[in-house]
Protein backbone atom coordinates (compact mmCIF):
# COMPACT_ATOMS: atom_id res chain seq x y z
CA UNK A 1 0.00 0.00 0.00
CA UNK A 2 1.46 3.35 -0.91
CA UNK A 3 1.42 6.37 1.35
CA UNK A 4 -0.05 9.69 0.34
CA UNK A 5 0.91 13.18 1.36
CA UNK A 6 -0.20 16.72 0.64
CA UNK A 7 2.29 18.90 -1.12
CA UNK A 8 1.99 22.66 -1.11
CA UNK A 9 4.56 24.22 -3.37
CA UNK A 10 4.93 27.52 -5.20
CA UNK A 11 5.98 26.99 -8.78
CA UNK A 12 6.89 29.97 -10.95
CA UNK A 13 5.09 32.19 -8.48
CA UNK A 14 1.85 30.24 -8.30
CA UNK A 15 0.94 28.14 -5.29
CA UNK A 16 -0.23 24.59 -5.92
CA UNK A 17 -1.59 22.04 -3.48
CA UNK A 18 -1.91 18.39 -4.41
CA UNK A 19 -2.38 15.05 -2.72
CA UNK A 20 0.18 12.69 -4.18
CA UNK A 21 1.95 9.40 -3.48
CA UNK A 22 4.84 10.06 -1.11
CA UNK A 23 7.19 8.38 -3.55
CA UNK A 24 6.29 10.61 -6.50
CA UNK A 25 9.39 12.28 -7.91
CA UNK A 26 9.45 16.07 -8.16
CA UNK A 27 10.10 15.76 -11.91
CA UNK A 28 6.94 13.68 -12.38
CA UNK A 29 5.01 16.04 -10.12
CA UNK A 30 5.95 19.09 -12.17
CA UNK A 31 5.41 17.39 -15.50
CA UNK A 32 2.30 15.32 -14.94
CA UNK A 33 0.52 16.75 -11.89
CA UNK A 34 1.05 20.37 -12.81
CA UNK A 35 1.35 19.92 -16.58
CA UNK A 36 4.62 21.88 -16.72
CA UNK A 37 6.26 19.69 -19.32
CA UNK A 38 9.16 22.03 -20.04
CA UNK A 39 11.29 20.17 -17.48
CA UNK A 40 12.46 16.95 -19.16
CA UNK A 41 13.63 13.61 -17.84
CA UNK A 42 16.82 12.08 -19.24
CA UNK A 43 18.10 9.44 -16.88
CA UNK A 44 16.29 9.46 -13.53
CA UNK A 45 19.55 8.77 -11.74
CA UNK A 46 20.90 12.26 -11.34
CA UNK A 47 23.69 12.28 -13.89
CA UNK A 48 22.45 14.03 -17.04
CA UNK A 49 21.04 17.21 -15.49
CA UNK A 50 18.19 17.44 -17.99
CA UNK A 51 15.65 17.69 -15.16
CA UNK A 52 17.35 20.64 -13.43
CA UNK A 53 15.00 23.19 -11.84
CA UNK A 54 15.52 25.85 -9.20
CA UNK A 55 14.59 25.13 -5.60
CA UNK A 56 14.61 28.37 -3.66
CA UNK A 57 16.90 29.78 -6.30
CA UNK A 58 19.44 26.94 -6.35
CA UNK A 59 19.83 24.43 -9.17
CA UNK A 60 18.68 20.95 -8.19
CA UNK A 61 17.99 17.71 -10.05
CA UNK A 62 14.25 17.21 -9.80
CA UNK A 63 14.59 13.49 -10.53
CA UNK A 64 16.50 13.04 -7.30
CA UNK A 65 13.85 14.68 -5.17
CA UNK A 66 10.47 13.59 -4.03
CA UNK A 67 7.64 16.06 -4.52
CA UNK A 68 7.04 16.03 -0.76
CA UNK A 69 10.55 17.39 -0.23
CA UNK A 70 9.49 20.53 -2.10
CA UNK A 71 6.62 21.10 0.28
CA UNK A 72 6.72 24.70 1.47
CA UNK A 73 9.41 25.69 -1.02
CA UNK A 74 9.68 27.78 -4.17
CA UNK A 75 10.37 26.04 -7.43
CA UNK A 76 11.25 27.72 -10.71
CA UNK A 77 11.04 25.82 -13.97
CA UNK A 78 11.93 26.89 -17.51
CA UNK A 79 8.34 28.06 -18.01
CA UNK A 80 9.08 30.70 -15.39
CA UNK A 81 12.03 32.06 -17.29
CA UNK A 82 10.33 33.70 -20.27
CA UNK A 83 7.64 33.37 -22.93
CA UNK A 84 7.81 32.85 -26.69
CA UNK A 85 6.96 36.53 -27.16
CA UNK A 86 9.31 37.71 -24.42
CA UNK A 87 12.28 35.45 -23.91
CA UNK A 88 14.76 35.98 -21.09
CA UNK A 89 18.14 37.29 -22.31
CA UNK A 90 19.62 33.87 -21.57
CA UNK A 91 17.05 32.23 -23.86
CA UNK A 92 17.65 34.86 -26.53
CA UNK A 93 21.37 34.19 -26.33
CA UNK A 94 20.78 30.49 -26.88
CA UNK A 95 18.80 31.17 -30.03
CA UNK A 96 21.35 33.62 -31.40
CA UNK A 97 24.30 31.36 -30.74
CA UNK A 98 22.53 28.16 -31.89
CA UNK A 99 23.05 26.68 -28.43
CA UNK A 100 20.43 23.99 -28.92
CA UNK A 101 19.59 21.37 -31.50
CA UNK A 102 16.94 18.89 -30.37
CA UNK A 103 16.23 21.06 -27.35
CA UNK A 104 15.66 18.20 -24.93
CA UNK A 105 18.53 18.96 -22.56
CA UNK A 106 18.12 22.72 -22.98
CA UNK A 107 15.79 23.56 -20.08
CA UNK A 108 18.27 21.81 -17.78
CA UNK A 109 21.13 23.93 -19.12
CA UNK A 110 19.08 27.12 -18.77
CA UNK A 111 18.22 26.39 -15.14
CA UNK A 112 21.84 25.54 -14.39
CA UNK A 113 23.22 28.64 -16.09
CA UNK A 114 20.69 31.10 -14.69
CA UNK A 115 21.84 31.11 -11.04
CA UNK A 116 25.46 30.62 -12.14
CA UNK A 117 25.44 33.72 -14.36
CA UNK A 118 23.48 35.75 -11.83
CA UNK A 119 26.10 34.96 -9.20
CA UNK A 120 29.08 35.14 -11.60
CA UNK A 121 28.41 38.01 -13.97
CA UNK A 122 31.86 37.83 -15.57
CA UNK A 123 32.96 34.20 -15.85
CA UNK A 124 35.86 32.85 -17.89
CA UNK A 125 35.20 30.22 -20.51
CA UNK A 126 36.77 27.63 -18.25
CA UNK A 127 34.42 28.56 -15.43
CA UNK A 128 31.44 28.28 -17.75
CA UNK A 129 32.50 24.84 -18.93
CA UNK A 130 33.00 23.77 -15.34
CA UNK A 131 29.57 25.10 -14.37
CA UNK A 132 27.83 23.06 -17.06
CA UNK A 133 29.99 19.95 -16.70
CA UNK A 134 27.13 18.30 -14.83
CA UNK A 135 24.77 18.65 -17.79
CA UNK A 136 24.96 16.19 -20.66
CA UNK A 137 24.19 17.13 -24.25
CA UNK A 138 24.36 14.62 -27.06
CA UNK A 139 23.63 16.97 -29.96
CA UNK A 140 25.76 20.09 -29.72
CA UNK A 141 29.20 19.13 -28.45
CA UNK A 142 28.75 22.04 -25.98
CA UNK A 143 30.72 24.64 -27.95
CA UNK A 144 27.71 26.71 -28.92
CA UNK A 145 26.22 26.34 -25.45
CA UNK A 146 29.36 27.95 -24.06
CA UNK A 147 29.11 30.68 -26.70
CA UNK A 148 25.47 31.21 -25.73
CA UNK A 149 26.46 31.56 -22.09
CA UNK A 150 29.08 34.16 -23.00
CA UNK A 151 26.58 36.05 -25.10
CA UNK A 152 24.11 35.89 -22.22
CA UNK A 153 26.69 37.53 -19.93
CA UNK A 154 26.61 40.60 -22.16
CA UNK A 155 22.84 40.56 -22.60
CA UNK A 156 22.17 40.16 -18.89
CA UNK A 157 24.62 42.95 -18.06
CA UNK A 158 22.87 45.22 -20.56
CA UNK A 159 19.53 44.47 -18.94
CA UNK A 160 21.00 45.52 -15.60
Partner 1 sequence: MDVRTAKKKFIGQRITRNEDPRLLTGQALFVDDVHLPDMLHAAFLRSDYAHARILSIDTSTARERTGVVAVYSAEDMGDFWQEGPLLVPPPTSVEGAIFHKRGQIPLAKDKVRHAGEPIAVVIAHSRYMAEDALADILVEFEPIDPVINLERALGSDAPLVHDDLESNLAAHVVQEKGNYEEAKAKADLVISRRFNIDRGAAAAMENRGVVASWDDKAQELTMWDTTQAPIPIRNGTAAMLGLSEHQVRVIAPFVGGGFGPKIMMFQPEEVLVPWVAIKLNRPIKWIEDRRENFLATTQERSQVHDSEIALTRDGRILGVKDIFIHDTGAYDPYGMTVPLNTQCHAMGTYDVPNFYTEVKMAFTNKMIVTPVRGAGRPQGIYVIERLLDLATKELGLDPIEIRKRNFIPPDKFPYEHNIIDQAFTPLILDSGNYQPLIEKAAAMIDYEHFINEEQPKLRAEGKYAGIGIVAFIETTGVGPYEGARITVGASGQVNVVTGVGTQGQGHFTSFAQIVADQLGVEVRDIHVVTGDTAQFHWGTGTFASRGAVVAGNAINAAAGNVRAKILKLGSKLLNVPEEELELAEGQVRVADLPEQSISLGELAVIANPLRGTVDPGTEPGLESTDYFGPQYGATAAGVHAMILEVDPETMMVEIKRYVTVEDCGTVLNPLILEGQIQGGVSMGIGNAFYEQLVYDEDTGQLLNASFMDYLIARSTDMPPRIEMGHQETPSPLNPLGSKGAGEAGAIPVPALFAQALENALADYNLEILETPLSPNRLFELLHKKEN
DSSP strand pairing (74-76 vs 4-11): parallel
Q: Is 9 helix (H, G, I), strand (E, B) or coil?
A: strand
Which whole-number Å values give the CA distances from 118 to 10, 24, 76, 123, 160, in the listed order? 21, 31, 15, 10, 11
Nearer to partner 1 among residue 72 and residue 77 (C-beta): 77
**Judged by CB under 8 A, does residue 10 bind partner 1?**
no
Q: What residues between 56 and 75 interact with partner 1 by CB under 8 A?
A: none
Spatial distance between the Cα atoms of 142 and 147, rounded to a whole number of angstroms: 9
Spatial distance between the Cα atoms of 133 and 112, rounded to a whole number of angstroms: 10
Q: What residues between 108 and 127 interact with partner 1 by CB under 8 A?
A: 110, 125
Contact mark string toward partner 1, 22..51, x via CB under 8 A: -xx------xx--xxxxxxxxxxx-xx-x-
Residues in contact with partner 1 by CB under 8 A are 2, 21, 23-24, 31-32, 35-45, 47-48, 50, 77-79, 81-84, 87, 91, 94-96, 98, 100-107, 110, 125, 129-130, 132-146
Amino acid sequence: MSEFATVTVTVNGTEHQRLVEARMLLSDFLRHELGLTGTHVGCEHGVCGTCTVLLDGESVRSCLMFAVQADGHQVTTVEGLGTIEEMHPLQQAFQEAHGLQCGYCTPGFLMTLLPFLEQNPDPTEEEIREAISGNLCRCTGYQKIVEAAKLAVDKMAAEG
